[in-house]
Structure 1
Amino acid sequence: MFNNSMQGGLVIRPSNDRDKPFLMNLYNSTRDDLKHVDASHDFIEELIEMQFKAQFEGYGEQFPNAFYFVIERQQEKIGRIAVDFGHNEVRIIDISFIKAAQNKGYGSVVINALKSAAEQNKVPLTLTVLHSNVSAINLYQKLGFKIVENKLPHALMMWLPESKTARFSVNSSHFELSN
Structure 2
Amino acid sequence: MFTVAEHLRLRNSHEGDAPFRRALYAATRDDLRQLPMSPQFIDNLISMQQKIHEDGQRNAFPRAQHWIVEYHDEAVGRVVFDMSGAEWRLVDIAIAPAARRQGVAGAVLRALQRRAAGQRAAISLAVAHGNDGARRLYAAAGFQPQVSDALRQQMLWQCPC
Same fold (TM over 0.5): yes
State the match for 2:108 in structure 1. 110
The offset of 1:86, in angstroms, is 2.2
Q: Which runs of 5+ in 2 are unaligned?
A: none
Q: Could you tell me the TM-score, scaled by structure 1's length? A: 0.87
Q: CA deviation at 1:12?
A: 0.4
Task: Compute the displacement of 1:61 (Å).
Answer: 1.1
Pick from 15, 38, 61 the counterpart of residue 13 of structure 2: 15
Contact 2:7 2:73 in 1 (8 A): no
The TM-score, its normalising length taken from structure 2, stands at: 0.97
Distance, in Å, in 2 between the alignment partners of 1:8 and 1:77 is 15
Look at both structures and tell me which one has the larger radius of gyration over its CA atoms: 1
> How many residues get paired?
161
- Percent identity among equivalent residues? 32
Q: 1:26 aligns with which of 20, 24, 27?
A: 24
1:116, 1:152 → 2: CA distance?
Answer: 31
Instruction: Say if 2:150 is the partner of 1:161.
Output: no
Moved over 2 A (4+): none
Q: CA RMSD in A?
A: 1.0
The question of whether the paired residues in 2 share the 8 Å contact of 1:65 and 1:84 is answered with yes
Per-residue CA deviations over 1:46-68 (Å, capped at 9, x if unaligned) read 00000000001100111111110
- 8 Å CA contact 1:89–1:118 kept in 2: the answer is no
Name the structure 1 match of 2:134.
Answer: 136
Q: Distance in 1 between matches of 2:76 and 2:50?
A: 18
Looking at structure 2, the residues matched to 33 and 145 of structure 1 have their Cα atoms a distance apart, in angstroms, of 27
Segments of structure 1 that go 5 or more residues without pairing to the other structure are: 164-179
- Aligned to 2:2, what secondary structure does the other structure show? coil
